[in-house]
Amino acid sequence: MKLDLKGLLIVISGPSGVGKGTVRSALFNMSGHDLVYSISMTTRKPREGEVNGREYYFVSKEEFQKYIQEDKMLEYAEFVNNYYGTPRDKVMELLEQGKEVVLEIEVQGAEIVREKMPEAIFIFIAPPSMQDLYKRLLSRGTEPQEVIAERVQKAQREIKLAYLYDYIVVNDTVENAADKIMAIIRAEHAKVERTIHQYKEMLEVK
Amino acid sequence: MKLDLKGLLIVISGPSGVGKGTVRSALFNMSGHDLVYSISMTTRKPREGEVNGREYYFVSKEEFQKYIQEDKMLEYAEFVNNYYGTPRDKVMELLEQGKEVVLEIEVQGAEIVREKMPEAIFIFIAPPSMQDLYKRLLSRGTEPQEVIAERVQKAQREIKLAYLYDYIVVNDTVENAADKIMAIIRAEHAKVERTIHQYKEMLEVK
């Protein structure tokens, strides 16, 4: 992605259990923004209350693999025998239209997006402490013991990758975290390399 | 300034007449911030309503030149036979204490700060249009004609230097501009190079 691509791609990621989804929801519930959420695709089963096409596109493993084979995924990650990923076309279309597109994805997927689109904005959601993260991982009662164990190990690997990101936002409270992300997006818009073209046009009007 | 210096130096500048002072006031009137304003020193006469030690430290030309000779100015600029500048000691002391120090200075002075402290955050306040800027410059009725003419020429030079800054904030409304600056400051705090040390300390707590 070049800076003169009209849209802005915002990648929200962070370790398993940190509360990425909740922060992203809070962000979208804020008023006065113009963000578009890119819904991920997954092969995992919907959790209670999750709706197809809202939280995720829920597809079969075969469908997902077809997307991969046809190079239709911007990024994807495999975890506990399930795939999670972002279909590419929709994201590119939104960016062409000048939208602010938010991806909320796994750390592994964020690595791929960084390679393909280094100009995106990478935000790492961090827990206020490791204890806090462990507590969250262990209290999520929806999964069997071995899934939780794998999730803990995954989080321990992921937590070390924060240095690769542009910003670290601590999820101390969901509101604080969402608020900070909004500030980051506003600030990114004011960055000189994003505004200088528009600014020069303004200068022509003498 | 190194990034591990505790404080954050925020330089607000922009062309003559753009309304830097008004934006800065609005910024400081916002709630919930922790900013400290570094009061500039000037040899110009106070305008109506201006108080020594609030808008500026008003000093004589001799006093100002003594500061320059003793290398006690972080930056200074000369304009229409008057000096404007920032005494260095106070700023450094505040930064050592970890404060967020705001300078609102002339473009010429900002150049000097950029050389001495490249790690500072440079924000350029831009007018919504050149017409708008001319209007503001001409309507300021407090100065004689030749001062206004010099101010217009100065603004025309200064407006071209926006590309040297980190951020461009358009002063469409004072509230918008102040709000954007606050977002920039919050975002800068979340930048990975500023948070990674603290983050690593957090990781030690296992």
Rg (CA), chain A: 18
Is position A74 within any domain?
Answer: no
Is position B75 within any domain?
Answer: no
- The pLDDT tens digits of the residues spanning B170-196 come to 999 999 999 999 999 999 999 998 888
Residue in A70, A63, A120 with CA at minimum distance from that of residue A91: A120
CA A84 to chain centre: 12
Structure tokens given for A9: 């791609």
User: What is the structure's pLDDT at A205?
Assistant: 46
Residue A199 confidence class, pLDDT cut points 50, 70, 90: confident
Average pLDDT, chain B: 90
Is position B73 within any domain?
Answer: no
Structure tokens given for B88: 């260095």
Q: Tell me if ipTM is over 0.95.
A: no
Mutation for testing the B interface, residue in A153, A202, A204, A205 having most B CBs under 10 Å: A202
Q: Which residues of A touch B (CB under 8 A)?
A: 123-124, 126, 128-131, 159-160, 162-163, 165-169, 179-180, 182-184, 186-188, 190-192, 195-196, 199, 202-203, 205-206
User: What is the structure's pLDDT at B76?
Assistant: 94
User: What is the structure's pLDDT at A140?
Assistant: 67
**Which residue ranges of chain B lie beneath pLDDT 50?**
1-3, 205-206
- The pLDDT tens digits of the residues spanning A25-65 come to 999 999 888 899 999 999 999 999 999 999 899 999 999 99
Is position A49 within any domain?
Answer: no
Domain limits for position A28: 8-38+99-204
CATH of the domain at B187: 3.40.50.300
Number of domains into which chain A is organized: 1
Is position B148 within any domain?
Answer: yes
pTM: 0.87
User: What is the structure's pLDDT at A32?
Assistant: 84
CA B19 to chain centre: 12
Please name every residue paired with B124 in a beta bridge, in sequence order, or none if there are none: B13, B168
Mutation for testing the B interface, residue in A13, A167, A172 having most B CBs under 10 Å: A167
A10-19, A197-206, B68-77, B131-140: segment of lowest average pLDDT: A197-206
User: What is the structure's pLDDT at A141?
Assistant: 67
| Beta-carbon separation of B184 and A180 below 8 A | no
Average pLDDT over residues A178-206: 87
User: What is the structure's pLDDT at A178?
Assistant: 97
Residue A3 clears pLDDT 60, i.e. is over it:
no
Is position A54 within any domain?
Answer: no
Is position A62 within any domain?
Answer: no
For residues A175 and A167, what is the distance between their CA atoms, to the nearest angstrom?
17
Average pLDDT over residues A5-33: 92
User: What is the structure's pLDDT at B205?
Assistant: 46
Is position B88 within any domain?
Answer: no
Residue A74 clears pLDDT 50, i.e. is over it:
yes
| Beta-carbon separation of B167 and A190 below 8 A | yes
